[in-house]
Each structure stands twice: as C-alpha cells, then as structure tokens.
C-alpha cells in the first residue's frame, strides 16, 4: 500500500466518475501517481471501473469506520470501551498485545480498515480486503489465572451468535472451538491471545473477524468453505455492526469475569453446528480420532463419545472436521 491508497478511495467514496485531473487537484498529487495506485487496487480485486488515461469510479464504496459513529451505537456501554480506528495495520491482535505490555486499560478496541498480516487460529492467514470484513481486537483484563480462561473463545462465540441473530440471521451457528458459521461455511472467527500478566489478573486480547462481502477472487484464496454477511441478506453499516457486537461482547465478558464459561455452556451447545454429530479430530500428534460430539465441559473442552467412552479435548492444535455430509 502506498500513501495515496486511502486518500484516493475516500475521494471515490461517493461512487461518481472522477477524472485523473480532478483526483490530482483534490489530493494535491501529480496525475502520474494515480495509475500505479489504481493498478494496485485493481490487483486486490477492488470494484473500480476505469478508463485508461482518463478516470475511474468506485462501484461498491464502503461505509468508512469512525470512532464517534461506533461510540454512538454502543448505547449504555459507551463508557466501557476506548475505540481506535486505523486505516491499515499488520494485526490488531499484535497491536493490542504490545499495548497491553505497556499497561493499556481494559476495554481498548483497535479496529482496522485493512489488516495486512491478520491471523486466525493455528497461524492461518486471515484474508480480507478493504471494506470486505470487520476486523478488530479488544483488550480485556480478567482476575485469576490463565487456566480460568480456557472457555473465553467459546463465550465470545456466543456473543457473536447473539449479535448476528438479533440482526436477523437466524441460522448462524458455531463450530468448536472458535468459528462462526452460516450454512456450514465460515462467516467469521475468534482468536484469543494473552499478554503479560499483571498482579492478580491476566490481560487477554480478543481478536474477531467477520466476513462482510467476499469477492470470488478472495474466496479462492481461503483454504476452506467461506461465506459473508452479504450472502445472508444482511447489509449493514460497519459502525453499527461493530457497536452491536461490542455491546454483546461486553455483556458476555462481564458475566464470564464473575462465573466463567458455565453460564454459557447450554447456549453454546444449542448453537453448535456439530452437536450430536459424528466428527473427526485432527490432533497435533497426527492421530485422528472419530466420535460423536456430546457437548462441552464447563471449561469449554470438547466432549467426544468414542465407543463406550467419552474423551475430553481442549483447543491447542486440535481441528474438528465433520464426517457426515
């Protein structure tokens, strides 16, 4: 990304055709700098119509993220969060891990228009373009030990299901331990990371990514079946969406801080796409046990019935795969 990328996109955000001369004057740059930036955006799969040597327009402009607009949608939870919006960063999770080490307060939110090194679980790359996704992280400080946090990603999943169902997506579900699904395709995910421990407490960074609108080229880069909110029929301003998600997240994390995962266990199981279904687990030692999912423990561990026995599996390097169509 060069320094002209976001100013150019913001100038084109009204969807009107603009000549290169107009763009150059408005942005205070030589006309010769515009075509290379345009080529970069086209290579990313951006929906920009252009006439060689003449001008261009952005056919699917986004609703830009804005801290004040997000705060407006937080309602009574506005005092619980401090919101930072950036155009571009490597990883919002990495940003907040570093900020936690510097003593940042609980409730700090970092949201980016574009992540260039976004990560999912098991170090998978999180693919998204400008405006294609909602990618953000929240710093939260819990009392107690790291062992008490084993069910945090599942509780966060519950908050996302609540948020999306309240917006009309009735068939959104979860996949253990941290995926959000729509019709068995990945709609979003959660990545939990801990930072330096402070006396009597542990700092946790909750990373969340939701696909809003995936181009066909982007879908081909993702190594699993994926979907987006646009496919569900939901079109929503990202500021409003983030406000809704943060409100539910605050409610869930506040309860979790006092009572752990147990209050969310039954709700999580009802939302699990593979509850009472046969699955195969891919473990870090290369083994792949098969069994029927019978639920999760109060700590968020997956309970798998294999023959006459029930086995417990925790997150780590475990990957769940369905064996039924």
pLDDT above 70 covers a percentage of the chain that reads 92
In this structure, the answer to whether residues 17 and 162 fall within a common structural domain is no
The CATH number of the domain where 44 resides is what?
A: 1.10.10.10
Kindly tell me if the per-residue pLDDT of 77 is higher than 60: yes
Structural domain containing residue 20: 5-58
Q: Which two tokens stand for residue 23?
A: 């763009």
In this structure, the answer to whether residues 286 and 227 fall within a common structural domain is no
In this structure, the answer to whether residues 284 and 262 fall within a common structural domain is no
Q: Which two tokens stand for residue 238?
A: 């990202």
Q: What is the pLDDT of residue 260?
A: 93
Q: Which two tokens stand for residue 33?
A: 């700098």
Q: How far apart are CA 133 and CA 130, in angstroms?
A: 7
Q: How far apart are CA 183 and CA 320, in angstroms?
A: 16
Q: How far apart are CA 122 and CA 191, in angstroms?
A: 9
In this structure, the answer to whether residues 116 and 239 fall within a common structural domain is yes
In this structure, the answer to whether residues 279 and 197 fall within a common structural domain is no
Q: What is the pLDDT of residue 196?
A: 67
In this structure, the answer to whether residues 82 and 224 fall within a common structural domain is yes
In this structure, the answer to whether residues 309 and 265 fall within a common structural domain is no
Neighbour tally for 231: CB within 10 Å: 15
Radius of gyration of the chain (CA): 21
pLDDT band at 80 (very low <50, low <70, confident <90, very high): very high
The CATH number of the domain where 301 resides is what?
A: 2.30.30.100
In this structure, the answer to whether residues 259 and 297 fall within a common structural domain is no
Q: How far apart are CA 84 and CA 158, in angstroms?
A: 24
| Closest residue by Cα to residue 247 from 65, 15, 81 | 81
Diameter of the chain measured on Cα atoms: 74
pTM, full prediction = 0.90
Q: Which residues contact 216 (CB under 8 A, 6 or more apart)?
A: none
Mean pLDDT of 252-272: 96
Name the average pLDDT for the chain: 90
Q: What is the pLDDT of residue 212?
A: 92
The CATH number of the domain where 108 resides is what?
A: 3.30.930.10
Q: How far is CA 212 from the centre of its chain?
A: 10
As beta bridge partners, residue 85 has 111
Q: Which two tokens stand for residue 149?
A: 């946090």
In this structure, the answer to whether residues 114 and 220 fall within a common structural domain is yes
**Phi/psi of residue 270, nearest 5 degrees:** -65, -30
In this structure, the answer to whether residues 34 and 92 fall within a common structural domain is no
Q: Is pLDDT larger for residue 307 or for residue 121?
A: 307
Kindly tell me if the per-residue pLDDT of 125 is higher than 60: no
For 15-62, the pLDDT digits (tens) are 999 999 999 999 999 999 999 999 989 888 788 998 887 899 999 888
Are the C-beta atoms of residues 35 and 2 closer than 8 Å to each other?
no
In this structure, the answer to whether residues 222 and 92 fall within a common structural domain is yes
For 144-186, the pLDDT digits (tens) are 777 778 899 999 999 999 999 999 999 999 999 999 999 999 9
Residue where the block lists tokens 């400008």? 130
For 185-240, the pLDDT digits (tens) are 999 999 999 876 677 788 999 999 999 988 666 766 676 788 999 999 998 999 99
3-state class (DSSP) for residue 313:
strand
pLDDT band at 318 (very low <50, low <70, confident <90, very high): confident
3-state class (DSSP) for residue 310:
strand
Kindly tell me if the per-residue pLDDT of 120 is higher than 60: no
As beta bridge partners, residue 293 has 304
End-to-end Cα separation, the chain, in angstroms: 42
Kindly tell me if the per-residue pLDDT of 268 is higher than 80: yes
Q: What is the pLDDT of residue 178?
A: 92
Q: How far apart are CA 92 and CA 73, in angstroms?
A: 21
Q: Which two tokens stand for residue 126?
A: 């999180």
Neighbour tally for 79: CB within 10 Å: 9
Neighbour tally for 185: CB within 10 Å: 16
If one counts the domains in the chain, the total is 3
Q: Which two tokens stand for residue 194?
A: 């801990």
In this structure, the answer to whether residues 13 and 117 fall within a common structural domain is no
């Amino acid at each position: 990304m060069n320094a002209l990328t976001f100013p150019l996109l913001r100038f084109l955000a009204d969807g009107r055709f603009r000549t290169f001369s107009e763009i150059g004057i408005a942005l205070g740059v030589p006309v010769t700098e515009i075509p290379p930036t345009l080529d970069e955006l086209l290579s990313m799969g951006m929906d920009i119509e252009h006439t060689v040597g003449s001008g261009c327009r952005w056919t699917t402009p986004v609703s830009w993220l804005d801290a004040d607009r997000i705060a407006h949608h937080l309602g009574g939870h506005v005092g619980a969060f401090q919101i930072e919006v950036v155009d571009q960063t490597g990883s919002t999770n990495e940003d907040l891990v570093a900020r936690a080490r510097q003593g940042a307060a609980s409730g700090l939110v970092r949201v980016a228009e574009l992540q260039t090194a976004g990560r999912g679980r098991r170090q998978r790359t999180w693919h998204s373009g400008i405006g294609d996704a909602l990618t953000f992280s929240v710093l939260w400080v819990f009392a107690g030990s790291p062992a008490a946090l084993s069910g945090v990603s599942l509780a966060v999943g519950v908050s996302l299901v609540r948020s999306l169902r309240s917006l009309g997506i009735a068939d959104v579900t979860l996949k253990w331990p941290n995926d959000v699904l729509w019709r068995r395709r990945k709609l979003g995910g959660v990545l939990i990371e801990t930072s330096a421990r402070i006396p009597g407490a542990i700092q946790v960074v909750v990373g969340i990514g939701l696909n809003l609108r995936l181009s066909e080229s982007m879908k081909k880069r993702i190594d699993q079946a994926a979907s987006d909110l646009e496919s569900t029929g939901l079109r929503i301003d990202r500021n409003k969406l983030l406000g809704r998600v943060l409100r539910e997240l605050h409610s869930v994390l506040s309860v979790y801080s006092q009572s752990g995962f147990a209050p969310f266990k039954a709700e999580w199981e009802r939302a699990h796409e593979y509850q009472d279904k046969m699955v195969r687990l891919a473990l870090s030692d290369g083994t792949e046990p098969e069994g029927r999912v019978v639920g999760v423990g109060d700590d968020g561990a997956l309970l798998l019935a294999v023959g006459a026995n029930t086995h417990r599996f925790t997150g780590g390097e475990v990957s769940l795969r369905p064996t039924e169509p």
